[in-house]
Amino acid sequence: MTAVFTLQTLLFTTLLTVRVKVEESKGKA
Protein backbone atom coordinates (compact mmCIF):
# COMPACT_ATOMS: atom_id res chain seq x y z
CA MET A 1 0.00 0.00 0.00
CA THR A 2 1.53 3.27 -1.10
CA ALA A 3 1.09 6.65 0.52
CA VAL A 4 -0.56 8.00 -2.63
CA PHE A 5 -3.14 5.21 -2.60
CA THR A 6 -3.83 5.86 1.08
CA LEU A 7 -4.31 9.58 0.49
CA GLN A 8 -6.62 8.97 -2.47
CA THR A 9 -8.71 6.55 -0.42
CA LEU A 10 -8.89 9.01 2.49
CA LEU A 11 -9.90 11.83 0.15
CA PHE A 12 -12.59 9.71 -1.50
CA THR A 13 -13.96 8.65 1.88
CA THR A 14 -14.02 12.25 3.09
CA LEU A 15 -15.84 13.48 0.00
CA LEU A 16 -18.33 10.63 0.26
CA THR A 17 -19.00 11.40 3.92
CA VAL A 18 -19.48 15.10 3.19
CA ARG A 19 -21.91 14.30 0.37
CA VAL A 20 -23.96 12.03 2.62
CA LYS A 21 -24.14 14.69 5.35
CA VAL A 22 -25.16 17.34 2.82
CA GLU A 23 -27.95 15.09 1.53
CA GLU A 24 -29.11 14.47 5.11
CA SER A 25 -29.16 18.21 5.76
CA LYS A 26 -31.27 18.77 2.63
CA GLY A 27 -33.66 16.04 3.72
CA LYS A 28 -34.10 17.55 7.19
CA ALA A 29 -34.46 21.11 5.92
pLDDT digit string (tens) for 1-29?
699 999 999 999 999 999 999 999 999 86
- Answer yes or no: pTM beyond 0.85: no
pLDDT (0 to 100) of residue 28 = 80
pLDDT (0 to 100) of residue 16 = 98
Provide the Cα torsion 6, 8, 9, 14; round to 10°: 120
Q: What is the residue range of 29's domain? A: 1-29
Cα separation, 2 vs 19, in Å, equals 26
pLDDT (0 to 100) of residue 4 = 96
pLDDT (0 to 100) of residue 22 = 96
Total number of domains in the chain? 1
